[in-house]
Structure 1
Amino acid sequence: MSMDDQPEVVAPTRFAAGFNRVALGLTRHGVSLLGSRVLEVRGRVSGRPRETVVNLMRLDGATFLVAPRGVTQWVRNVRALPDGSVATRLGRRRQEWAATEVTDPAQAVPVLRHYLRRWAWEVGAFFPPGVSATSSDAELAALVGRKPVFRLTPR
C-alpha cells in the first residue's frame, strides 16, 4: 500500500485529546455528554478490549456511530470483526451491538448531515473546509468511507 492509499485520519489537537480524556472519564462514571458512550471493541491484532469515547446518534429509530476523524484504529478494529460485535457503556450500563458499516451514500448522507447538525461545534474541524450540515448531498457522499458510518443493532 503506497502513502497515497493510506486512509485519512485527522489527529486530535492537544485540546481535543484533553477533552476526550475528560469525556471518557465522565462517561465511564455515568455522565453522558450529549450522547457520549465508551465504545468497547476487540483489538484486531492484540485481541484485547480497546476503549474510546464516541457519540451515539439516533436517527429515524436507528442508532448510528460516525467516525469524524476518519479511518482510526477503532474503525479498523470494527471493520476487522467478522460479526461486528461491539459494546457501549455509560457508567455500569453496558449494551451489546452488531455494527454494520453503511457504505451506500443514499443511506450514509442523511446520517452525516444529522451528525454535523448535532455535533459540528465539536467535530466540524475534522471535516474538510466548507463541509457542514448544509452541504450538498454530493459533497457529503464524497465523504462516505472516509468518515465511516456504522449502524448499531442491539444484540
Structure 2
Amino acid sequence: MSDSARIRPPWWLKYVNKVMIGLQKLGILGENGPVVLEVRGRKSGKLRRTPITPMTVDGQRYVLGGLPGSDWTANLRAAGEATLHIGRRSERIRVVELPPDEARPLLREFPIKVPTGVGFMKNAGLVTGPNPDEYEALAGRCPMFRLEIVNA
C-alpha cells in the first residue's frame, strides 16, 4: 500500500491503546470487550500489542483492520499467526485475510456487531456513520481477517 493511501492515526490513539492493554492485563475488560492482539513485528521482530475488537458472524471471529496501511495489519499479514489475550487467558490464532468479495458481507455487519468501532471509523474519515453501504465500500481498502484458533 502506498504512503498516500495510508491514513494517519489520531494523536491520542497510542495513549488509549496503552490504557486498554493495561486494563486487559488486569483482567478488567473481561471476555466481551476489546482483546489484545500480540504479533511479532515484521521489521523489528519484537512482539507488538494492539487492542482490537473482533466480531463473531455465524460462529466465526473476524477483525477489521480499521486504518488502511496500519502497522499492526501489516505485521499480522506478514506473521500469519498471533496471540489473542482475552481477559486473563490467551489463545494462539492463525489469520486469513479475506479477498474483497468475501469481506463485503462482513463489512456490512461491522456497524451492527461492533458499534464502538463506528466512531473510530467516522473520525478517521472512512465513513460518515453506521451505514452498512459505506462499510461494504471499504472492501479492498481496509483488510478483514478471519481468526482461527490454532490447536495446541
TM-score by length of 1: 0.79
Whichever residue aligns with residue 44 of structure 2, its letter is S
Which residue number corresponds to residue 30 of structure 1? Answer: 27
1:29, 1:90 within 8 Å by CA — same for their partners in 2?
no
Which residue number corresponds to residue 61 of structure 2? Answer: 63
2:121, 2:127 within 8 Å by CA — same for their partners in 1?
no
Superposed CA deviations along residues 19-54 of structure 1, whole A, max 9, x for unmatched, are: 222212111221227531110111111222111111
What is the distance in 2 between the residues matched to 1:16 and 1:41? 18
Structure 2 residue aligned with 1:18, among 8, 15, 18?
Answer: 15
Structure 2 residue aligned with 1:74, among 59, 72, 75?
Answer: 72
1:151 aligns with 2:130: no
2:105, 2:136 within 8 Å by CA — same for their partners in 1?
no
1:31, 1:91 within 8 Å by CA — same for their partners in 2?
yes
Structure 1 residue aligned with 2:85, among 86, 89, 108?
Answer: 89
Unaligned runs of 5+ in 1: none
**Aligned-CA RMSD value:** 2.3
What is the distance in 2 between the residues matched to 1:92 and 1:110? 32
SS in 1 for 2:53: strand
Equivalences, count: 146
1:113, 1:133 within 8 Å by CA — same for their partners in 2?
no
Aligned pairs for 1:2-13 (under 5 A) are: 5-6=2-3, 8-13=5-10
Which residue number corresponds to residue 96 of structure 2? Answer: 100
1:123–1:25: structure 2 CA closer, same or farther, 3 Å change rule?
farther
TM-score by length of 2: 0.81
1:123–1:134: structure 2 CA closer, same or farther, 3 Å change rule?
closer
What is the distance in 1 between the residues matched to 2:100 and 2:121? 22
Using the TM superposition, give the Cα deviation of residue 60 of structure 1 relative to its aligned residue in structure 2, in angstroms: 1.4
SS in 2 for 1:14: coil
Identity of aligned residues (%): 30
